[in-house]
Amino acid sequence: MEGGIAAQIIFDLLFLTTFDVIFLVYSCYMKKYILFLIPVFLVVNCSTKSESQEKITTLFQFPKKVKEVSGVAWYNDLIWSIQDSGNSNEVFGFDVLGEMKEKIEVNGASNIDWEDITSDKNGNLYIGDFGNNDNDRKDLTIYKLAVSDYSKVAEKITFYYPEQKDFPAKKKDKLYDCEAFFLYQNHFYLFTKNRSKGFDGTSLIYKIPAVAGNHMAKLIGKIKTCSSYNLCVITGAAISPDEKQVVLLSHDRIWLLENFKNDNFSAGMMTELELKHYSQKEGICFKNNETLLIADEKDKKTGGNLYEVNLKKLKSKS
């Protein structure tokens, strides 16, 4: 009898809130289970915390003025970051210790909703002003900042989704927000953020030429993550320096795409890797072929940090 009760208590402890634990400990004390419960609770919580620490390492906290980081890129030993709607049209460069080395206002670019930033091998930066929460924008833009002068727009690339017929899109068709892109073989690849009623994890993959002008985005595929919006919506993307791996980010996990041919990403192998760390993660980039940098937004007392993840270790622990 007592063994069965103890087993049920262990199972239930995995899902308790702080209030539940206090109440249960008090109740069990009255039933003389207190000495059994406390060690179990500590083991469950400590093991979960240590597992998270093994998978993701905090490098530094962004300053208060940069609390809504929406994208990061790595170039010349600096983490280049931007913020989304409601913030300035500035790019920031931080070293790996968190010291701000660069703060540059971008002339000729308005920040309607900057959602991601990427770079090419020459050090040019590209800012994706394509946040589209309400699926009603007709001014989707990517700004190119030349490595010779990040303070002004070198090229302006605008685009549209030909599949979108209504502005705003109908609730069941809200597939045209975007927070994730990268540059590959002279084209931008965008992974849309699904805001549709009846979310099922579907993300559309669009291809856009990396040249100035107004372009029709080409739908080249779809992927499906998982069915929980809070866990499965895509908030960032990056491609490795050797161009053999693509990562997609959500709030507590990433999806690793490998073994794809050319830009047929959806036909490659997709592996889900849990970080065991939930926050409003918005930006991801490769530091090298095995190291990821991830940024999250500040939310009250949590977040606002830059993290490092070793992809090889993450794969081995998943």
Give the model confidence (pLDDT) of 294-316 as tens digits.
Answer: 999 999 889 999 999 999 999 98
Residue 50 is predicted with a pLDDT of 54
Contact 244, 209 (CB under 8 A): no
Q: Exposed/middle/buried for 52, CB within 10 Å: 0-12, 13-18, 19+?
A: middle
Residue 194 is predicted with a pLDDT of 98
Residue 317 is predicted with a pLDDT of 79
pTM (predicted TM-score) = 0.85
**Summary mean pLDDT of the chain:** 88
pLDDT in tens, 68-81: 999 999 999 999 99
| pLDDT greater than 50 at residue 169 | yes
d(C-alpha 24, C-alpha 91), whole Å: 50
Question: Which CA distances in Å does 180 have to 22, 23, 113, 311?
Answer: 42, 44, 13, 19
d(C-alpha 268, C-alpha 245), whole Å: 10
Amino acid of residue 36: F
pLDDT in tens, 139-165: 999 999 999 999 999 999 999 999 999
**SS3 of residue 183 by DSSP:** strand
Residue 2 is predicted with a pLDDT of 40
Amino acid of residue 192: T
Contact 283, 295 (CB under 8 A): yes
Q: HSE of 97 in the Cβ direction (CA atoms, 13 Å)?
A: 2
Residue 52 is predicted with a pLDDT of 59
Q: Which residue has the tokens 């919580």?
A: 45
Contact 236, 281 (CB under 8 A): yes
d(C-alpha 6, C-alpha 300), whole Å: 37
- Cβ neighbour number for residue 82 with a 10 Å cutoff: 29
Sheet holding 236-239, edge to edge: 236-239, 246-249, 253-258, 269-274
The CA angle 121-211-288, to the nearest 5 degrees, is 20
- State both tokens at 118: 């990427």
Contact 279, 272 (CB under 8 A): no
- State the average pLDDT over residues 172-200: 98
Residue 4 is predicted with a pLDDT of 43
In terms of DSSP bridges, do strands 236-239 and 78-83 run parallel, antiparallel, or are they unpaired? unpaired
The CA angle 284-69-80, to the nearest 5 degrees, is 65
Residue 232 is predicted with a pLDDT of 97
CA 305 to chain centre: 13
- Cβ neighbour number for residue 293 with a 10 Å cutoff: 21
Residue 31 is predicted with a pLDDT of 44
Residue 198 CB contacts under 8 Å (≥ 6 apart), including other chains: 172
d(C-alpha 130, C-alpha 141), whole Å: 6
Residue 6 CB contacts under 8 Å (≥ 6 apart), including other chains: 33, 36
Contact 254, 223 (CB under 8 A): no
- State the average pLDDT over residues 188-217: 98
pLDDT in tens, 51-97: 556 789 999 999 999 999 999 999 999 999 999 999 999 999 999 99
Contact 224, 175 (CB under 8 A): no
Contact 114, 84 (CB under 8 A): yes
Question: What percent of the chain lies above the pLDDT cut of 90?
Answer: 81
